[in-house]
């Protein structure tokens, strides 16, 4: 029985970098989730009778919203599907699209964050054109449709008919594990673990736990205990499921310690991010995408080579040097995975990456945390070298891009906007001037012209480029849920091998000071230092 229920619009349902993200109490307002989900369908055509995938990272409010969205759907057991696994299910079963319930790396719980995102039939996040259309619908919605099918059992695998609809509860891991098995040399990985290779994977009580446990321990024979914090919890054990040097500091400390395992990794709330730490060496996400691209041909799924590499604008230029050496295309896109979709669909890019710990390939249309970890393992096995050797050899061959991101979180929105506005008005006058002895070569507000569909995305981050290739980038986050988050990205290229083991913050100190001179970060935000440095 399908009922139509009258509703009133909420005016704050504009999707950000990755779907709609708000605090749980915001989503708990009457009809808030129903309105947004109905608006997704109102912006789409031709889904009648088709199948929809629903994924979620198991955070608080996940199950409740799944019951609201249900139509003819495929859903992961327990309401769980990692973001990359959901992308795979959409592609594999050629469904109409999917809805992913997650706020990714943001904390979960009754007072923390929740999110809803729509992925299209290619498995990728909805392009801007569609998210704009969804937002337009949320502003005029007057009713939504809902099926009274009672409570659906999400915990038992199988198909149930409910209220004239079919609900298929699937094993969330099986299809994904099969996909990984086709890309990587599982025999070589089994041999690696058999030889005594030790690894630590921290699932941070988020969605990748069951995937890591099954793939690493069951299928690849890694010792029990390789996967840690592998039981997904609705509040992620009270932590931020954000795999970076702040929220996964325990892993970093272990990997730098005297009895460190050979390789350490972690993933985020919805399983699309990755943190890579070799024994005694942290690999920045920007370096990781460059190193994966340079070595991908060692894995069976990429032995024919890459078509191209794409990276988000704030991501370091390390990957550009690899693309140049390989003689393949390099694409610079705005922040957010939705901008890679066209390049992947058109087979112009094979590997994509973001500085925020996102790496992925054309195997799905999302970034994929465990994929990056398995590709690293495959490369380690094929080369028979440690992560540290691979990293230092890469720097010696290509030069090192020192890179860091400074986040100023929960800044008052007005003050953050004032900073950006002031910076914009200054842009034209900056080139040719010097800051701290460094000459500014150019300054602009990044705009992206999509080479596939011709669409243009403006105001995607302010870049100040210095002579010699160093740069600072400023942008406001599109995923935060309280106040504004200012992100400052700092990069310096260093070709000289004798200067490859400096402390990153020291190597970037003059650029960090220059960024404050240029943008007045401290005076605008009232903060003496960033909240998070990665």
Residue 104 annotated among the catalytic residues of the structure? yes
User: Strand 263-267 and strand 199-202: pairing?
Assistant: parallel
CB of 244 to Co ion, least distance (A): 12
Spell out the residues 6+ positions from residue 48 whose beta carbon is closer than 8 angstroms to its own: none
> Binder to ligand VG1 among 213, 273, 363, 492 (CB under 6 A)?
273
CB of 49 to Co ion, least distance (A): 31
Burial class of residue 30, CB neighbours in 10 A (0-12, 13-18, 19+): exposed
CB of 56 to Co ion, least distance (A): 12
CB of 325 to Co ion, least distance (A): 30
Q: Which does 308 bind (CB under 5 to 8 A by kind): ligand VG1, Co ion, none?
A: none
Q: Which does 288 bind (CB under 5 to 8 A by kind): ligand VG1, Co ion, none?
A: none
Nearer to ligand VG1, 39 or 356 (CB): 356
Tally the C-alpha atoms within 13 A of residue 388's C-alpha that lie toward its C-beta: 11
CB of 16 to ligand VG1, least distance (A): 6
Nearer to Co ion, 106 or 525 (CB): 106
CB of 284 to ligand VG1, least distance (A): 14
Cα(62)–Cα(352) distance, integer angstroms? 29
Contact 101/317 with Cβ under 8 angstroms?
no
Q: Which does 478 bind (CB under 5 to 8 A by kind): ligand VG1, Co ion, none?
A: ligand VG1
CB of 104 to ligand VG1, least distance (A): 3
DSSP per-residue string spanning 481-498: SSSEEEEEEEEEEE--GG
> Which window, 7-15, 386-394, 395-403, 472-480, contacts ligand VG1 (CB under 6 A)?
472-480
Question: 87, 104, 288, 312: which one is catalytic?
Answer: 104
CB of 495 to ligand VG1, least distance (A): 27
Q: Which residue is nearest to Co ion (CB)?
A: 104
Spell out the residues 6+ positions from residue 229 whose beta carbon is closer than 8 angstroms to its own: 202, 203, 204, 205, 209, 237
Cα(375)–Cα(360) distance, integer angstroms? 10
Using the Cα atoms of residue 44, residue 118, residue 147 and residue 95 in order, give the sign of their dihedral. Answer: positive
> Binder to ligand VG1 among 105, 311, 400, 492 (CB under 6 A)?
105
> Which window, 274-282, 354-362, 376-384, 490-498, contacts ligand VG1 (CB under 6 A)?
354-362
477 binds ligand VG1 (CB under 6 A): yes
Window 323-352: residues binding ligand VG1 (CB under 6 A): 335-337
Contact 159/347 with Cβ under 8 angstroms?
no
Nearer to Co ion, 271 or 308 (CB): 271
DSSP per-residue string spanning 363-396: TSSS--HHHHHHHHHHHHHHHT--HHHHHHHHHH
Q: Which does 17 bind (CB under 5 to 8 A by kind): Co ion, ligand VG1, none?
A: ligand VG1
> Binder to ligand VG1 among 10, 15, 18, 306 (CB under 6 A)?
18
Q: Which residue is nearest to ligand VG1 (CB)?
A: 104
* E strand or H helix at 420: helix 413-426
Cα(313)–Cα(128) distance, integer angstroms? 17
Spell out the residues 6+ positions from residue 341 whose beta carbon is closer than 8 angstroms to its own: 120, 122, 124, 125, 127, 365
Nearer to ligand VG1, 78 or 84 (CB): 84
217 binds ligand VG1 (CB under 6 A): no
Nearer to ligand VG1, 117 or 137 (CB): 117
Footprint of Co ion on this chain (CB under 5 A)?
104, 268, 270, 272-273
CB of 467 to ligand VG1, least distance (A): 27
Kindly state the DSSP code that residue 116 receives in the 8-state scheme. Answer: E
Contact 180/220 with Cβ under 8 angstroms?
no
> Which window, 225-233, 247-255, 267-275, 410-418, contacts ligand VG1 (CB under 6 A)?
267-275
> Which window, 217-225, 460-468, 474-482, 504-512, contacts ligand VG1 (CB under 6 A)?
474-482
Nearer to ligand VG1, 31 or 471 (CB): 471
316 binds ligand VG1 (CB under 6 A): no
Sequence-ordered strand ranges (E) for 171-273: 199-202, 227-228, 263-267
- Token pair for residue 308? 């191209």
> x/- site string to ligand VG1, residues 50 to 89, per CB under 6 A?
----------------------------------------
Sequence-distant contacts of 6-11: CB under 8 A, at least 24 apart: 6/142, 6/143, 7/31, 7/34, 7/35, 7/38, 7/141, 7/142, 7/143, 7/144, 8/142, 9/35, 9/138, 9/139, 9/140, 9/141, 9/142, 10/35, 10/138, 11/138, 11/139
354 binds ligand VG1 (CB under 6 A): yes
> Binder to ligand VG1 among 267, 284, 479, 525 (CB under 6 A)?
479
Q: Which residues on neighbouring strands pair with residue 162, listed in sequence order?
A: 165
Nearer to ligand VG1, 40 or 206 (CB): 206
Buried b (16+ CB within 10 A) or exposed e, 517-532: ebbebeebbebeebeb
272 binds ligand VG1 (CB under 6 A): yes
Q: Mark residue 273 as left, alpha or beta (left: phi above 0; alpha: psi -120 to 50; beta: remaining).
A: beta
Nearer to ligand VG1, 54 or 390 (CB): 54
- Token pair for residue 444? 């602009």
- Of the candidates 248, 459, 240, the residue with the CA atom closest to the CA atom of residue 335: 459
> Binder to ligand VG1 among 237, 399, 431, 478 (CB under 6 A)?
478
User: Strand 329-333 and strand 308-312: pairing?
Assistant: parallel
Return residues touching ligand VG1 (CB under 6 A): 17-18, 104-105, 268, 272-273, 312, 335-337, 354, 356, 358, 477-479, 487
Catalytic amino acids? 104
């Amino acid at each position: 029985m399908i009922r139509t229920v009258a509703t009133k619009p909420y005016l704050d349902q504009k999707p950000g970098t990755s779907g709609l993200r708000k605090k749980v109490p915001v989503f708990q307002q009457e009809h808030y989730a129903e309105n947004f989900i109905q608006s997704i369908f109102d912006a789409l055509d031709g889904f009648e009778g088709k199948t929809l995938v629903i994924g979620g990272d198991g955070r608080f409010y996940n199950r409740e919203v799944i019951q609201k969205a249900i139509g003819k759907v495929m859903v992961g057991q327990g309401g769980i599907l990692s973001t990359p696994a959901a992308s795979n299910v959409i592609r594999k079963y050629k469904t109409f699209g999917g809805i992913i319930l997650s706020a990714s790396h943001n904390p979960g719980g009754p007072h923390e964050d929740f999110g809803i995102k729509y992925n299209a039939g290619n498995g990728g996040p909805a392009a801007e054109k569609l998210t704009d259309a969804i937002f337009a619908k949320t502003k005029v919605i007057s009713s939504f449709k809902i099926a009274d099918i009672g409570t659906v059992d999400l915990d038992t695998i199988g198909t149930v008919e409910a209220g004239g609809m079919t609900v298929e509860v699937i094993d969330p891991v099986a299809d994904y594990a099969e996909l990984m098995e086709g890309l990587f040399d599982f025999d070589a990985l089994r041999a690696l673990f058999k030889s005594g290779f030790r690894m630590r994977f921290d699932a941070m009580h988020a969605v990748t736990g069951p995937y890591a446990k099954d793939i690493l321990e069951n299928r690849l024979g890694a010792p029990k205990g390789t996967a840690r914090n592998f039981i997904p919890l609705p509040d992620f054990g009270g932590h931020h499921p954000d795999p970076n040097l702040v929220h996964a500091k325990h892993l970093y400390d272990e990997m730098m310690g005297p009895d460190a395992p050979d390789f350490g990794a972690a993933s985020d709330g919805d399983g699309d991010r990755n943190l890579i730490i070799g024994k005694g060496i942290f690999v920045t996400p920007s370096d990781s995408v460059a190193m994966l691209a340079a070595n991908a041909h060692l894995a069976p799924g990429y032995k024919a080579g890459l078509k191209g590499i794409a990276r988000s604008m704030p991501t370091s230029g390390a990957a550009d040097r690899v693309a140049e050496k390989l003689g393949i295309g390099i694409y610079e896109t705005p922040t957010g995975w939705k901008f890679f979709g066209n390049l992947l669909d058109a087979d112009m890019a094979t590997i994509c990456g973001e500085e925020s710990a996102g790496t992925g390939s054309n195997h799905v249309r999302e970034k994929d945390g465990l994929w990056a970890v398995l590709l690293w393992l495959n490369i380690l096995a094929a080369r028979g070298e440690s992560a540290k050797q691979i990293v230092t050899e890469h720097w010696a061959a290509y030069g090192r891009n020192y890179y860091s991101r400074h986040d100023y979180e929960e800044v008052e929105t007005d003050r953050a906007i004032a900073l950006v506005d002031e910076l914009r008005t200054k842009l034209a006058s900056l080139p040719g001037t010097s800051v701290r002895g460094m000459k500014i070569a150019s300054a602009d507000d990044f705009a992206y012209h999509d080479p596939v569909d011709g669409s243009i995305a403006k105001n995607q981050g302010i870049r100040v480029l210095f002579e010699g290739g160093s740069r600072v980038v400023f942008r406001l986050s599109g995923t935060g849920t309280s106040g504004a988050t200012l992100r400052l990205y700092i990069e310096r290229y260093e070709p000289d091998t004798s200067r490859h083991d400096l402390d990153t913050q020291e190597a970037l100190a003059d650029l960090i000071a220059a960024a404050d001179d240029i943008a007045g970060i401290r005076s605008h935000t009232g903060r003496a230092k960033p909240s998070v440095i990665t």
